Amino acid sequence: MNKLYAGYARSVVTPSLGISLAGYFYRRDADKVLDDLELVALALRQDGKTVIMLALDQCSIANDISDGYRQAISDRTGVPMDAIFLHATHTHTSPYASPDNILSKDKSPEGVARAAMITENIKKLTVKMADTAAAAIADLKEAKAGYQTVKAPNIAFIRRYRMADGSIRTNPGVNNPDIVAPIGEIDDRVNVIRFDREGAKSIALINFGNHPDTVGGCGISADWPGFARRELEKALPDTLAVVFNGAQGDVNHINVHPEAGYYNNNTAPSGTPRGHGHARFMGRALAGSVLQVWDITKPMEYTDLDYAQKMISLPSNMPTEKDDMERAHYYRKLHLEGRDNEIPGTGMLRTTYIAEAMRLCRLEHGPESYQIRLSAVKLGDIAFVGLPCEPFTGIGVGIKEAEGWGLVCPCCLTNGSNGYVPMRDSYIEGGYEAKNSNLKEGCAELIIEEAKKLLETIR
């Protein structure tokens, strides 16, 4: 049997204060560092074939920026671009992935300066990408691999709810008496892959799906993925950790019916609870779940390494004749002028109106379709599936059902970013994610089908 080699490298990528943070529909400029953002690279090699899997603490990575990063990595290491698996953990307390963002309409000197900070950060990250990938390759050591699955209960919750009036709400608030029931089911499985290396620290790869929008505010933070890495490494001093977020489009940290003490470390227990302490709690809980199975991972009998990528075409969620474009343009104008208080609703309901208006205006003249890159890495009977979007839990569950694999790990926001992909029923039901999605109903089911086909090419 050909030997497997695994290497690990990590770089701090915390940007300068003052940079604009991504994830919300309004401007936030970083005013402090709560914990460092990191870039982690895992290199795998077998029989002369090398794969590099990277996880960046960032909300997303725009498609063109992702291509640039992967090209820089390929140029530096000689690894083909199709063998580079670049993932964003989706923390909402990280910089924008591109200067072309929701703030790009601000042409004031301050707005131009903010865009320049983002551009400069991308340049620094490009160098960090190549350096960190090269360092992971230089760290390659003979390794044996194993895996296990465990559950991490009570830290991820469906965030879409049916309300008493029949409407669908995302994040309707804690203890809202109008909540009837969540729409969907949680997949709280944690995929754990263990690499034990000759003469070097072991490596733990954690794959779990949840929204890292726990902290809020203007402080830079890696959110729960950063805490999960750090807490596991504290518990296992001879181990290095990397987190790949899973299908997280319709789940987050908000328990709308909490028991006493659940929100001890949050700042807004009556509305949308957020807090750095809650991210720590989630990281500890996730690390604790990993510890339950760390010593009983299933040894892999074979670890043949392969990879594949392909582009698929998906229809866009363009306006129809039923959409009120006059209102959409009006809401967009109010939003860009900082007059959100003149838009109906409050909280997430108002955000939904804004998101829908922005999407309708954005797609008013096309494109009619998007080219989406699907990525896959095979390690024995483990498969990693890279999805350049925010997939609903149903997509992750569907892909995990692919036949012939011992373990399938869906990874969101990998090798690009194309926004939310809700399940077909969500478009009929409504709600923030479907109103905001660039992709038309039915795309989730197509992605499941095409991802399974891609896995067949390397099985």
DSSP string, 207-264: EE------S-TTEE--HHHHHHHHHHHHH-TTEEEEEEE-S-TTEES--SSPPTTTTT
Q: What is the pLDDT of residue 105?
A: 66
Q: How far apart are CA 273 and CA 172, in angstroms?
A: 12
Six-digit token pair at 340?
Answer: 């959100």
Q: How far apart are CA 459 and CA 455, in angstroms?
A: 6
Q: How far apart are CA 77 and CA 140, in angstroms?
A: 13
Whether 340 and 396 map to the same domain: the answer is no
Q: How far apart are CA 174 and CA 236, in angstroms?
A: 36
From first to last of the 459 residues of the chain, give the pLDDT tens digit.
Answer: 589 999 999 999 999 999 999 999 888 999 999 999 999 999 999 999 999 999 999 999 999 999 999 999 999 999 999 999 999 999 999 999 888 765 666 778 888 888 899 999 999 999 999 999 999 999 999 999 999 999 999 999 999 999 999 999 999 999 999 999 999 999 999 999 999 999 999 999 999 999 999 999 999 999 999 999 999 999 999 999 999 999 999 999 999 999 889 999 887 765 679 999 999 999 999 999 999 999 999 999 899 999 999 999 999 999 999 999 999 999 999 998 889 999 999 888 899 999 999 999 999 999 999 999 999 999 999 999 999 999 999 999 999 999 999 999 999 999 999 999 999 999 999 889 999 999 999 999 999 999 999 999 999
Six-digit token pair at 118?
Answer: 């983002």
Helix (H) / strand (E) containing 45 = strand 38-46
Residues 6+ apart with CB under 8 A from 387: 247, 374, 395, 410, 411, 412, 413, 414, 421, 447, 451
Q: What is the pLDDT of residue 101?
A: 65
Q: How far apart are CA 212 and CA 427, in angstroms?
A: 24
Grouping H, G, I as helix, E, B as strand and the rest as coil, residue 161 is: strand
Q: How far apart are CA 436 and CA 23, in angstroms?
A: 13
- Residue in 43, 48, 52 with CA at minimum distance from that of residue 6: 43
Which amino acid appears at position 232 of this protein? Answer: L
Whether 198 and 224 map to the same domain: the answer is yes
- Residue in 299, 413, 297, 407 with CA at minimum distance from that of residue 54: 413
Whether 199 and 109 map to the same domain: the answer is yes
Nearest 5°: the CA angle 176, 181, 184 is: 130
Domain count, the chain: 2
Q: What is the pLDDT of residue 98?
A: 85
Whether 125 and 203 map to the same domain: the answer is yes
Whether 182 and 326 map to the same domain: the answer is no
Q: What is the pLDDT of residue 109?
A: 86
Six-digit token pair at 96?
Answer: 């924008």
Whether 357 and 372 map to the same domain: the answer is no
- Residue in 214, 216, 234, 235 with CA at minimum distance from that of residue 224: 214
Whether 225 and 353 map to the same domain: the answer is no
Residues 6+ apart with CB under 8 A from 279: 212, 214, 215, 221, 223, 224, 226, 227
Whether 135 and 237 map to the same domain: the answer is yes
- Residue in 34, 11, 52 with CA at minimum distance from that of residue 283: 34
- Residue in 399, 415, 419 with CA at minimum distance from that of residue 407: 399
Whether 244 and 357 map to the same domain: the answer is no
**Alpha helix stretches (DSSP H) within 147-222:** none
Q: Give Cα 37 distance to the centre of its chain.
A: 14
Six-digit token pair at 145?
Answer: 């691999």
Whether 184 and 88 map to the same domain: the answer is yes
Q: What is the pLDDT of residue 138?
A: 98
Residues 6+ apart with CB under 8 A from 143: 4, 5, 6, 195, 196, 197, 198, 203
Six-digit token pair at 75?
Answer: 């140029």
Whether 349 and 442 map to the same domain: the answer is no
CB atoms near residue 201 (< 10 Å) = 17
- Evaluated on CA atoms 233, 236, 242, 248, the torsion sign reads negative
Contact 132, 41 (CB under 8 A): yes
Containing structural domain, residue 279 = 4-311+368-456
User: Helix (H) and strand (E) counts for the chain?
Assistant: 10, 22
Whether 336 and 197 map to the same domain: the answer is no
